[in-house]
């Protein structure tokens, strides 16, 4: 398609007909100067035009974050905490990276322990009502991301354990996310293991043979799989496609290779051929 002038693009983006503005949005998304276009025209007088330009900006931002996430995952240059922040920004586009970082900075400053200990950490998590979602809300997609956890206190075990680790790091301490009997827990440097879904109590009578210190890659891959399952169970088709694309891109697969519902047609085709 020939080059589309900015004037023509603005006219068509302001058209309520979806055949017009969707086609132009696709053209603009493929342009190298899309950032300059958004910056120049994001304050246009027309409310509809401002909305379309903001949509273009959001799509560009989402694509870049997805690409950065995939590249870092392939190169093994991303830890679980960085992955959580990136996934949260991809899910909740109300937050800019700077806004999320500021919110996390304020939280960690308020959580810093003068005298780090497992008791002090457990007491803080209880005081702030950080708890995993109860069974009937276990797969609510919001509970997998930092924005929800910081607001309501509700978050998945792995996410809450990651917050614990950051609190300990900010306090000059440390710790690790561990897997024990199918549950993710947090181990403090003094060897104490805290259980998020048991009101941060200490795990007693621990069997060392069933205890595993998780690597960042293990945590990231597991978390992506859990988010995929949550999208299916919580009926979130848009998020399902977003996060599934991130999963398949690193293993040279297609969305149709994924389990239900993305791979339904291919699976049915194989069934009828067999």
pLDDT in tens, 20-62: 888 889 898 888 889 999 999 989 889 999 999 999 998 898 8
> Do 105 and 18 belong together in one domain?
no
What's the predicted TM-score (pTM) here? 0.84
pLDDT recorded at residue 95 = 85
Is the residue at 101 inside a domain?
Answer: yes
pLDDT recorded at residue 2 = 52
Is the residue at 161 inside a domain?
Answer: yes
Q: Quick check: 117 and 86 in contact, CB under 8 A?
A: no
> Do 54 and 109 belong together in one domain?
no
> Do 137 and 23 belong together in one domain?
no
Question: Which helix (DSSP H) or strand (DSSP E) does residue 40 occupy?
Answer: helix 34-41
pLDDT recorded at residue 151 = 93
Q: Which of 199, 218, 237 is a domain's end point?
A: 218
pLDDT recorded at residue 274 = 45
Burial class (CB in 10 A: 0-12, 13-18, 19+), 130: buried
> Do 156 and 51 belong together in one domain?
no
Is the residue at 263 inside a domain?
Answer: no
> Do 55 and 116 belong together in one domain?
no
pLDDT recorded at residue 210 = 78
* Residue that is written with structure tokens 């003094």 in the block: 190
Residues in the chain, pLDDT under 50: 1, 265, 268, 271-274
Q: Domain residues for 58? A: 6-74
Is the residue at 251 inside a domain?
Answer: no
* Residue that is written with structure tokens 């132009």 in the block: 24
Q: Quick check: 147 and 107 in contact, CB under 8 A?
A: no
What's the structural domain count of the chain? 2
Q: Quick check: 166 and 108 in contact, CB under 8 A?
A: yes
> Do 70 and 192 belong together in one domain?
no
> Do 59 and 98 belong together in one domain?
no
- Residue 72: half-sphere exposure toward Cβ, Cα within 13 Å: 20
> Do 69 and 185 belong together in one domain?
no
Is the residue at 65 inside a domain?
Answer: yes
């Amino acid at each position: 398609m020939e080059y589309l002038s900015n004037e023509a693009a603005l006219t068509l983006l302001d058209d309520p007909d979806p055949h017009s503005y969707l086609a132009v949005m696709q053209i603009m998304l493929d342009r190298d100067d899309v950032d300059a276009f958004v910056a120049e025209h994001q304050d246009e007088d027309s409310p509809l035009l401002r909305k379309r330009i903001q949509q273009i900006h959001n799509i560009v931002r989402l694509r870049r974050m997805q690409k950065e996430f995939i590249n870092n995952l392939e190169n093994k240059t991303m830890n679980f905490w960085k992955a959580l922040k990136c996934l949260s920004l991809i899910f909740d586009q109300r937050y800019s990276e700077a806004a999320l970082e500021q919110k996390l900075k304020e939280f960690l400053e308020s959580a810093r322990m003068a005298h780090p200990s497992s008791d002090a950490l457990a007491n803080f998590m209880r005081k702030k009502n950080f708890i995993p979602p109860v069974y009937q809300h276990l797969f609510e997609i919001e509970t997998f991301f930092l924005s929800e956890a910081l607001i309501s206190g509700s978050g998945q075990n792995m996410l809450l354990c990651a917050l614990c680790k950051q609190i300990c790091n900010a306090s000059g301490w440390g710790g690790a996310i561990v897997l024990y009997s199918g549950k993710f827990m947090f181990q403090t440097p003094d060897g104490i293991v805290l259980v998020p879904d048991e009101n941060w109590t200490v795990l007693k009578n621990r069997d060392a043979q069933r205890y595993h210190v998780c690597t960042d890659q293990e945590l990231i891959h597991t978390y992506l799989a859990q988010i995929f399952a949550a999208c299916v169970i919580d009926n979130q088709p848009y998020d399902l496609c977003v996060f599934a694309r991130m999963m398949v891109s690193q293993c040279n697969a297609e969305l149709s290779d994924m389990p239900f519902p993305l791979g339904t047609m291919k699976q049915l085709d194989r069934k009828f051929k067999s």
